[in-house]
Structure 1
Amino acid sequence: MTATTPRIRIAAAPISWGVCEVPGWGRVLDAGTVLGEMAELGVRATELGPPGYLPRDPAALRGLLGGYELELVGGFLGVVLHETPEAALAAAEESAALFAACGGDVLVLAAATGLDGYDDRPKLSDTEWTTLVETSGEIGEIAARHGLRTVVHPHVGTHAETEEEVERFLADSPLPLCLDTGHLLIGGTDPVALAKRYPGRVGHLHLKDVRGELAEDVRAGRLPYAEAVGKGLYVPLGDGDVDIETMVTSVHEAGYDGWYVLEQDTALSEESPEDLSKRDVARSLAHLDGIVSRLPAAR
């Protein structure tokens, strides 16, 4: 590896094991199972998952992750940015302090609607949009005081979902993006093209693969997002319609040196095989490893 070639840092996230903050999402596996399977697969870092799933006490969280030899990447924070900024800022302060105390380096921010789930989203006024942008900037400042980077996550069912909204945010805010290949595609944005247009704005990477026909059904309003996830919207890397190899190659060649987080949104039912998530993540890891092996001096 040359001094100018970024290394590839691979991490996982509890959502790949069905752990989600949405009420009624599905069966939630215990933390020991999830973290243990990450460790068994050779993963050495993870995002935090939804608030309350893992300990919010820094010493307890460090101890739990350390027991599985896992490093903390940071975590997701979905808060309402377009109204009551004080609540969003307080939540950001608490999360940023926790992430920093446990070795994390990134706060992944989403513009939540304030509704449960990701199936509905009211339209914002221009004034509300301005408040959203200003609040996200203040959260970026809070995170920076804790030594963290803030990235804004375009996400289905939030106020940064469509290509128009993503472009508008990039124009109105200096914050970088969490480039989530699945959520961008579902929202109507080609994630590879976006990364090539704005290589300097890719601050974090969530690698997902999706079935294009189900993504189109969600985008067209024919299928609710949660229902689509249950029908297999997300698939292991290489099995869907996202060009993962071109994405990874593109950001790597552009000098991206952040995390490559395997994050396959999964909803588990009582009938789901016990090792479903582990098998799917193993397949994604194998696919990503093959891509990385073809990158010049990536390791």
Structure 2
Amino acid sequence: MQELGLAATELGSDGYLPSDPCELREVCARYDLEMIGGFVPVVLHDPAQRDASLAAAERAAALMGGAGGHLFITSMVTSFDWAPRLEIDAAAWDYAAAMLDEIEEIVAAHGMSQAIHPHLGTMIERPSDVKNVLERSQVGWTFDMGHLMIGGYDPVEFLADARDRIAHVHLKDVRLDLAAPVLRGEQSIMQGVQNGMFCPMGDGDVPVAEVVTELERSGYDGWYVLEQDAAITDGEPAPGEGPKVDVLRSIEYLRAINAEFTAGQKAS
């Protein structure tokens, strides 16, 4: 990340970065990376999982907040073992919204804020799921354009619907043709990733340039986090191969968008 010029990071998958706040802070400082926060799966709709979910939120907030992180990215999973998405009734959505308020109190106590994350394979996957939360809670949102696109919510439409709720941005492109078998239940999410479902910026179906340009025009001043999902199954990639190559392509694409936007601003 440092070599590619990236200035910050999220926590990432369990075990990727240290689980002790002091050690985590030291690693980030060593590589000149700001700790933004991270993705935390919790079960919000099921009262039987309340205590476990609040405990998980407390642990994650203590780690990230203790390392200087400021953003708690909530993912509403069906279960802690990522069971398939369920259809739930209005009462369960109401309960989930109340749980978001409880988590907000936990993260605030650690100097953080909360932003909920739509995600393939979770309880917030489809436009109706997103709107159920938008209508019931004032929680901020992680605008993950790739996951919204897969779930059937045009990112441009989401931006129009919820611009004032966007607290964080995940940059992600997706090939819908490769996502289709996952949506049909013929492949797992991991298989979709292995097949290239999430591709470098500009290679997929997400209108990345349009979305980023509109975010900039509207005054968004938060982080843009580049998420280049990859499934490494055969050990460390050889030099010149692996996720680093795709990340570099995405960075170059985003720099071109930024240059075009900046030139347009100067011209106007």
TM-score past 0.5 threshold: yes
Match of 1:79 among 8, 32, 42: 42
Match of 2:69 among 104, 119, 123: 104
Q: Is the CA contact (8 Å cut-off) linking 2:142 and 2:166 kept in structure 1?
A: yes
Q: How does 1:95-244 map to 2 (within 5 A)?
A: 95-114=60-79, 116-117=81-82, 120-244=84-208
Residue type of the alignment partner of 1:277: P
Which residue identity does 1:287 align to in structure 2?
Y
Task: Give me the whole-angstrom Cα distance separating, in 2, the residues matched to 1:223 and 1:190.
Answer: 23
Q: 1:67 pairs with 17, 25, 30, which one?
A: 30
1:247-262 paired onto structure 2 within 5 Å: 247-262=211-226
| Count of paired positions | 260
TM-score, normalization: structure 2? 0.91
Pair 1:278-2:241 in alignment: no
- 2-structure distance, mates of 1:76, 1:174: 19
Q: Residue 223 of structure 1: CA displacement?
A: 3.4
Which amino acid is 1:232 matched to? G
Cα distance in 1 for partners of 2:215, 2:8 equals 20
Q: Is the 8 A contact 1:121 1:158 kept in 2?
A: yes
- Residues 58 and 272 of structure 1: is their aligned pair in 2 closer, same or farther, counting only changes over 3 Å? closer
| Counterpart for residue 51 of structure 1 | 14
User: How many Å apart are 1:95 and its aligned residue?
Assistant: 1.4
1:89 has 2:54 as partner: yes
- 2:259 corresponds to which residue? 293
1:55 CA displacement: 1.3
SS in 2 for 1:72: strand
Cα pair 1:186 1:218 within 8 Å, conserved: no
Question: Is the contact made by 1:196 and 1:250 (CA closer than 8 Å) also made in structure 2?
Answer: no
- Contact 2:143–2:170, Cα closer than 8 Å, also in 1: yes
CA-to-aligned-CA distance 1:42-64 (integer Å, 9 cap, x gap) = 11210001233321211111111
Using a 3 Å threshold, how does the CA distance of structure 1 residues 204 and 249 change in structure 2: closer, same or farther?
same
Amino acid at match of 2:39: F
Q: CA deviation at 1:109?
A: 0.3
Write the distance in 2 (CA, Å) between the matches of 1:121 and 1:69: 38
Q: Does the 8 A contact of 1:156 with 1:186 survive in 2? A: yes
Give the secondary structure class of the aligned counterpart of 1:247: helix
The aligned amino acid for 1:283 is R
Q: Greater RCO between the two (CA within 8 Å, min separation 6)?
A: 1
How far does residue 226 in structure 1 lie from its aligned partner after superposition? 2.1
Conserved? CA contact 2:70–2:112, under 8 Å:
yes
Q: Secondary structure at the match of 1:39?
A: coil
Task: Tell me the percent identity.
Answer: 43
Q: Which residue of 2 aligns with 1:22?
A: none
For the residues of structure 2 that align with 1:41 and 1:73, how far apart are their CA atoms? 18
Shift of 1:122: 2.7
**CA separation in 2, counterparts of 1:289 and 1:103?**
27
Q: CA deviation at 1:241?
A: 0.8
Moved over 6 A (4+): none
Instruction: Tell whether the 8 Å contact from 2:75 to 2:116 is kept in structure 1 after alignment.
Output: yes
1:187-243, Cα deviation, whole Å (9 max, x unpaired): 111012111222101111000011121223333434332221111101100111111
Q: What residue ranges of structure 2 are gaps of 5+ in the alignment?
A: none
Unaligned runs of 5+ in 1: 1-37
